[in-house]
Structure 1
Amino acid sequence: MALLQMAELLPEKMDRRSWLWRRKSSEKSPGETESSIGSMSSHSERFSDDQVNLNQNSQTLEVMLKTDQRENEHNHGAKTLSEKLSEALLSINAKEELVKQHAKVAEEAVSGWEKAESEVLALRKQVEALTARNSTLEDRVIHLDGALKECLRQLRQTREEKDQIALQVLEKKNSESESTLTSIDTELHYKLEMAEKENSDLKLELSSMAEELEIRLIEKELSIEAAEQASKLHLESVRKVAKFEAECRRLSSALQKANDHKSSLNTRSRTRRTPSMVKNNEIRKTRRDSHVEIDLMDDFLEMERLVAELRENELKVSRNRLKETEWKLAECENELKVSRSQLEESEIKLAEREYELKASRSRVEEAESKLAECENELKVSISRLEEAECNSAERENELKATTSRLEEAERKLIECESELRASRSRLEEASHKLAEHENELQGSKIRLEEAECKLAEREYKLMVSRNRLEEAEHKLAEHENELERSRNRLEEAESMLAERENELQGSRTQLEEARYKLVECENELNTSRNQLEVAESKLVETESRLEMAEAGLETTYAKREESKSRYSLLEAELEISLQKVKSLESNVRKADAKCRELEGEVSRLQHEAQSTKSVNTAEEFRFLRLKHDTGLAMAGSKFAECQKTIASLSRQLKTMATLDDFLIDTNDS
């Protein structure tokens, strides 16, 4: 009977202790189930093993009770039953201790479950924050999409306008170069024809002058022969005059002798009159004859003197003619020298015109090469814009993929929440049934493992996003390298501009105003370059800030607005530079008009030079024309360099705008 009472008391004690354990678990379950899920999952296996042992012990007790009943019926083995009962009591005490341990384990499991629920709540808050952030990012992406499309549209419009302006300028330059080439060709042909005509005229003049020289030489020879004959006649006349003078002297001496003889006869006549009278008559006759002869001699001498004077006059005339012929020969020689110098100058002018033709052709070739380079640069910029559009499309696809993944994560989190609610309901049911509770704990452990897997997937996704951020940083570094290359190109363009400025120092004085205006434009370009450098430094600052973009998206949006304002400022500066280029074009046109006026003056001077045949005016005209052509060429080259710098600035602005959009897209992603 005692055994039966103990057997009846055992299930009551077991029921009471199990009820106490259930009450404790039910009291702790509504507030502590959420925090004890993790620890219960860790101790669920051990608890299940203890439960199996309890079931086995209960079965053994039942077997023992049956045996005791049989022994009571048969009154055998009382001592063995008492021993077994004592052992059963000991085992019951041990089981009670095990139950207490299991209660502690259950409490720990409940606290772990509560911790897991708090972690799930934190994860849920993070997911909500991520969803809010994703929504803001989606709004920002939509806004940035619209802004990017607007920027691309504006860039396309500006590119088309600049292409049209460049094509118009190139067509204008080509037409101007063709017109200048045609005018130069016509002028050169006209000048060649004029030079050929002058050469033919000079050749005719030379032939006529040679004939005149031959005639004059013949005349000179004849005059020399006549002079020689006259000199011979003069010598003969001189000889004759000498002979006549000798005869005159002889006759005068004879007259003196006759006079002396007469005086002597007079003295004798006094003594002798008659014979002396006869002699006097004879002497008178002889005197008469001598006077007649003397008169004849005087006449003859006068005739000889007149002839000699005539011959001397003829000699003087011949000498004057010789001097005139010599002077004319000197003039002819001077004219020949002048004609030869004119021929040499015409040949030099022809060589200069040929050199100018070659230079103009080389300029045309350079202009064509520059056109080809501009077209290549336009193609490169178009390809870069296409690449930027492709990159933006890829970023949009990545953003869409991330949004889809976030939606999947939210859906999975909602499923987790529903599963957690189901697990809570199951835990409440498990508070009534220990076995069901253990099964539910195992299921919750599996779900927690799934949540851990999901967390691992989230971490993997975070790693993937970080890798994408690293790739974006690498692309940013590549873009920075491209910016450095563009800076190097800008420095090369600046060195080219400095070389052009050094070449412009030797330009002509009439284009100094245009040169000063070009220098002002270059200074403004330098200021724009400085502003570009400031913008680049600000871009570097924005890049450093973009690394901290996850901390604040509002600051990046403000920076984007600042970059837009800077872009608008740079566009305004570009418009100002374009207006200055237009003013430079007007100045160049004014210079062309002045040059045309100078050409008119030069043509007028040329006509005057042709009328006066002065060599100095022709040389001055040639010098002025060369100076004018070189000045125009230098001004055209300077204008082309300015256009190149403006095009490079516009390209850099485009790249900066695309980089800003790309950086903002990467921050959003």
Structure 2
Amino acid sequence: MDRRGWPWKKKSSDKITKADIPFVTPDSVGSTLSSVAHLGNQENCTNKNYVQISMESYTRMSGLEDQVVNLEGQVKDLESKLSAAYSELDNKENLVKQHAKVAEEAVSGWEKADAEVVSLRCQLESMTLSKLSVDERATHLDGALKECMKQIRTVKEESEQKIQEVILMKSQQWEKFKLELEAEIDKLDKGLREEARENAALLRSLHESSNKIVKLKEEKSEVESSLELQKKNVQSYEKEINSLKYELHMISKEMDIRNEEKDMIMKSAEVANKQRTEDVRIITNLEGECQRLRGLLRKKLPGPAALAQMKLEVESTRHVISGIHQRKTSSLQESEFLNMSKQLELFEEETKRLKEALASSKAELQASRNLNTTTVGRLKSLEAEVQVLYQERSSQKSNLAINYQNSSSRICSNSPSITSISDGWHEDPESPVESSTDSTSDHFHVRRVRSSVKFESHKSETISELMDDFLEVEKMASSSDNDSVQIADKVKNDSEDKQLKSNDALVEIQLKCMTESYKSLQTHVEELEAENKFLKEKIDE
């Protein structure tokens, strides 16, 4: 009850306590700390004057220090809060600037959109006007199209009538022309039978010429085989020549080495001569000293026993010096003699080897010359046979030309229209064959090495062209089966003649290739002879 009844006492006591506790400031705290430090310094300096502090003052000082620490922590917190507030203000200012820029851009975009809307409205108005004008033009064009269609229909009807009339006229003309052709074909049959007999005789001669060509091909294959053998021999000769060149190179190197050895031997001989001269000089000096000693001994006149001992000593020294010198000279002479004998034996062996190689190369050259002479004889015989074949072909061609002119004159006298058709018919199949032969001849002149392969391809091309010509002839002469058979025989004969011509051209090209290869072989043989001469000269040297 007492405690509750007297609340003003508590307040008054609190006031008293608050009044008793002084207000602590940083200046007061600093002054107190400085006084304490000053007292500490005085204590350290004097160590005699001591200050007595009561417990109350000590507790009061420790409480003040704690308050200072707390206040410093509060100051640091406030500074961190201020820095955070400044950073937030900067961020907000940046956001405000960005919002202002966005607002300006939105205003400019709205103005541009208004301008575009105005331009689009103008374009719509112009498009509507152009559409109206196009609609008017379309109506006018529809009317013009209808009129054109009417005119086209009338023109078509008139043209169809004219075409029918022309077809009737042409059909009547073709029937008349057909009757005339049938009559003329009967006349041509007789002429073709006569030509068939002549073609049979020509076929016999062609078979004979083909047999001769087969023989020529066989001889050509033999010549090619002999040429291949010659090529192989030439390659072997080249290899041997290369080996001889290598041997010569090695011999030249050995000669250089031996020359160097000779130089070394000469130098050693010079050194030996110098040593010999030095030994002679030493001996002369010793002899002079001996004579001087003898003179001295003679002046002193020693006994006979002493003179005998001196003579023996001098002779022993002379024998020793002469033996050493003779041993040195004899050993040097023996070594030089052995080296020279070995070198001479090696030179003799090498000369024997080179002579044997030269003899073998000469024998091979003679064999190659004999082969070349045989190939020349074969080539000359082939050229003579080819000339005979050309003469026979020329005579056969002249006979064919005469017979063909006679038959063509008969046909021309009977009907000029059919002659024109037959001439065109004969010229059409012959022209591609002739052009093909010309092209193949040029082609073979450019590529002579691959003549055999090109010959087979040319044969296949000519046969295919002749088959095409034969099919065209069958189409032209479909009305009469007998006539087509005779015409086919004639075309076959012509194709065989053209094949023979192409074969002759190929034989000529192959002969040219053979002559060129023979010339190249001759040049190679001459080169081999020159190299052999060069080797002989080197050996003689």
TM-score by length of 2: 0.36
TM-score by length of 1: 0.30
